[in-house]
Structure 1
Amino acid sequence: MIDKKNKKNKKIINFLLFIFLIIFLISCKKEIPSEPVKNNLPISERSFYIGLVPNPANTPNSTFDDIIKAYEETGKISEICMVWVEKQGIGEYDLLKQNQVITGVRVYGLKPFITLNFATIKQGSNGLEYVIDAPQGVTPSLSDANFRALWKNEAKNIAQDFQPEYFSLGNEVNDYFYFHPEDVDDYLSLLNETYSEIKQVSSNTKVLVVFSYNHLVDNNQWSMLPDFNNSVDIVGFTTYPHKNFSTPLDIPANYYIQLKSYINKPIAFTEIGWSSTGTNTEETQANFLLKFLELTKEINLEMINWLFLHETTLDGLPGHICDSDVVTIALKKSDDSKKQIYNFWVELKNLKLVN
């Protein structure tokens, strides 16, 4: 009886030793590294910042919670926040003071990018007109002393109170000068004077002017660019090549690299994008980001900003002058679901950022 009991105990002990041995071998087994996640991007590190417009989901019925979530998410997947308010000329300073958007941007660790425009598109007697955006009672002219003083003071106040990392003194300015080439010299002198005012109160702010790359190419405005090299810290461009090419593969290899022949300052792509509607798809949109990174590898880049975080709606004048497909140039759909490009963008954000 005792012998049987000993045999039974021996079996139990052997079983427990076997289990212990298995656990020991598993714990001592040399760890085999998992296969690294494939880098789908054409670059392995980046020297530029990336940014977005943190527009909320569910437009036009966005809630306050949607807005907060958009800023929070933008802070996680970008470094720069494009700040757009209803007024982007003289009067913008007061709006920024009231809505405190710059404070909100910095809460989420983002660098604010502010734009002060000197011109606007208005409905005139003969249709849409590109005109100087002057307050009532002020002569709408870049040569007018009163307008120049007011505009410089607006820029100085914005720079002094908000200390923005990036301050653009005109968005897609070549569009205005296409219709008013006689104003270029007055603008350049105003730009130089305003640059000095900004630097006196916010020396670390990087000042730039932004051009429409599509129209620069279409209208052969290359000769404008060298005149701005000595007036700004950075030269900016917006680019939406889906308006000129059927697929990203059709974009020529030298499409962006030719900028190096005209610009000796760092370059900021303040808005880039490709539609995902019509003949385009989410896959095409994602492929454009990859193609763009490939085509700009040899350019001294300061930043690359995708247009929107969420697909949106545009009404009023923006809805009238913009192509309908621009609302789809976003990383996510309006319902907050991710589009194909989203994961590529996050992969870009996670690349090592080098000086």
Structure 2
Amino acid sequence: MRIKVPKKTTLLIGITGLALLIIAVGIIENEGVQNPKVRHSNYTLPITERHFLIGMVPTSRGGPNATFEDVLNAYQEVAVLGEVAMLWVSPSGIGEYMRLNSTRVVEGVRVYGLRPIVTLNFATLVQVNGSGLVYTIDAPPGVPANLSDPTFRAIWTEEAEAIARAFRPDYFSLGNEVNDYFHFHPDDLGAYLTLLDEAYAAIKQASPSTKVMVVFSYNHMNENDQFGLLGLFSNRTDLIGLTTYPWKHFDKPSDIPPDYYSKIRAFTNKTIALTEIGWVSSDARGSSEREQAEFLVQFLNLTKGIDLEIVNWLFLHEPQLNGTAAVISDPAVASISLKNSDGSKKEIYFLWQDLKELRITK
């Protein structure tokens, strides 16, 4: 899922002033052991501590009509609710370095004590007359859209290195839901694997502490029996990333099979980063806030035996989907959020608060 950062975030250049304000009001909290707190929700978590970080995309109240204050409040609230923030800017391929540099969103989330997750994509969906949306290599004008082309490979690797050197992100994904692309272009897989190796080496040289991953769609991995891909990537990255939206396959959370997530252990022993998880609350899809909260409880129960690094809910506030996201997504996707667009809290918000307050053991 790709969400544009509001233009107003360019005002985040005033990082130092913001930092002083935040310190003054005591927003930033330390990770680790926390004092017991009152339960916020009516649900019982199936775990008593967590060994993973949590977060979400800091979508702001008001969507496209968000004010600068709304944007800052969203960043601040994500810091209260978790430790990591998924950052999406446009472009998310070559050219992303300049966009990150101009918006200062990486510095922005760090002001609030959050660890940024950055993604550099190599492919994109484009509208082609007579063919509809087509998955293609995201190359700049004049550069062959080919993963084997030396010019494209050099520019893409340089982009990854520039982002790593300038921002030293805690987490860096080199492709989101890449199995979707290779489902349509299987012949490109070999070229991508060697490109990944080159970019990984460049990132590690620039920022040794950055954890590098590639993200797969778990929905489509199940649909298209693509689990074999994991073996090709496990020795090339620090983490394996997954997005998961089981509401597309199951009527209710209790229908998710007991081994739905644990079966991945037959294909990789890598630590897993769940970069996007969620369940809709939209009544138009026959769901509800209660069902959404029940999914989180079920998810935590089904992933108990898995080595997780990150669990990232999709949105903070319900966004207004536009552009390609609106074309390829079910409108109900916007409801995969902890809050409504007007800022009111859903049931899952309070459950997420309970999750946040668990002791971190990793």
SS at match of 1:158: helix
| Equivalence map 1:63-142=2 (5 Å) | 63-125=67-129, 126-142=131-147
| CA RMSD in angstroms, aligned pairs only | 1.3
Q: Could you state the TM-score of these two structures normalised by the residue count of structure 2?
A: 0.87
Q: Please give the per-residue CA displacement for 1:45-81, whole angstroms capped at 9, x wherever unaligned.
A: 0000001101101123111111111000111111001
Q: Which of 318, 322, 329 is 1:322 aligned to?
A: 329
Does the Cα contact within 8 Å between 2:55 and 2:84 map onto a contact in 1?
yes
Task: Read off the aligned partner of 2:352 and give its amino acid letter.
Answer: W
Task: Read off the aligned partner of 1:311 and give its amino acid letter.
Answer: E
Q: Could you state the TM-score of these two structures normalised by the residue count of structure 1?
A: 0.89
| Equivalence map 1:229-268=2 (5 Å) | 229-268=234-273
CA–CA distance in 1 between the matches of 2:121 and 2:186? 17
CA–CA distance in 2 between the matches of 1:59 and 1:83? 16
CA–CA distance in 2 between the matches of 1:317 and 1:53? 18
SS at match of 1:220: coil
- State which structure, 1 or 2, has the greater radius of gyration over its C-alpha atoms: 1
Task: Read off the aligned partner of 2:197 and give its amino acid letter.
Answer: N
CA–CA distance in 2 between the matches of 1:164 and 1:264? 24
Distance 1:153 1:283, change over 3 A: same
Q: Which of 298, 310, 317 is 2:317 aligned to?
A: 310
Distance 1:281 1:168, change over 3 A: same
SS at match of 1:222: coil
Return the structure number with greater relative CO, CA threshold 8 A, min gap 6. Answer: 2
CA–CA distance in 2 between the matches of 1:171 and 1:285? 24
Q: Which of 159, 181, 184 is 2:189 aligned to?
A: 184
Provide the residue aligned with 1:151 in structure 2: 156
Q: Please give the per-residue CA displacement for 1:175-220, whole angstroms capped at 9, x wherever unaligned.
A: 0000000011110000011100000010000000000000000011
Task: Read off the aligned partner of 2:341 and give its amino acid letter.
Answer: S
CA–CA distance in 2 between the matches of 1:106 and 1:319? 29
Shift of 1:317: 1.4
Structure 1 alignment gaps of length 5 or more: 1-33
SS at match of 1:186: helix
SS at match of 1:326: helix
Give % identity. Answer: 53
Provide the residue aligned with 1:202 in structure 2: 207
Q: Which of 50, 56, 62 is 1:46 aligned to?
A: 50
Provide the residue aligned with 1:27 in structure 2: none
Shift of 1:312: 1.3
Shift of 1:36: 7.4
Distance 1:303 1:35, change over 3 A: closer
CA–CA distance in 2 between the matches of 1:300 and 1:59? 35
Provide the residue aligned with 1:166 in structure 2: 171
Task: Read off the aligned partner of 2:214 and give its amino acid letter.
Answer: V
CA–CA distance in 2 between the matches of 1:252 and 1:150? 43
CA–CA distance in 1 between the matches of 2:153 and 2:135? 18
Task: Read off the aligned partner of 2:221 and give its amino acid letter.
Answer: L
CA–CA distance in 2 between the matches of 1:200 and 1:316? 36
- In the alignment of these two chains, the number of paired residues is 322
Shift of 1:35: 12
Shift of 1:39: 7.3
Shift of 1:235: 0.1
SS at match of 1:309: strand
Structure 2 alignment gaps of length 5 or more: 1-35
Provide the residue aligned with 2:352 in structure 1: 345
Does the Cα contact within 8 Å between 2:49 and 2:358 map onto a contact in 1?
yes
Q: Please give the per-residue CA displacement for 1:280-325, whole angstroms capped at 9, x wherever unaligned.
A: 0000000000000000000000010000000111111111111110
Does the Cα contact within 8 Å between 2:55 and 2:311 map onto a contact in 1?
yes
SS at match of 1:259: helix
Provide the residue aligned with 2:296 in structure 1: 289
Distance 1:35 1:130, change over 3 A: closer
Provide the residue aligned with 1:214 in structure 2: 219
Q: Please give the per-residue CA displacement for 1:104-156, whole angstroms capped at 9, x wherever unaligned.
A: 11000000000000000000131110000000000000000000000000000
Task: Read off the aligned partner of 2:51 and give its amino acid letter.
Answer: S
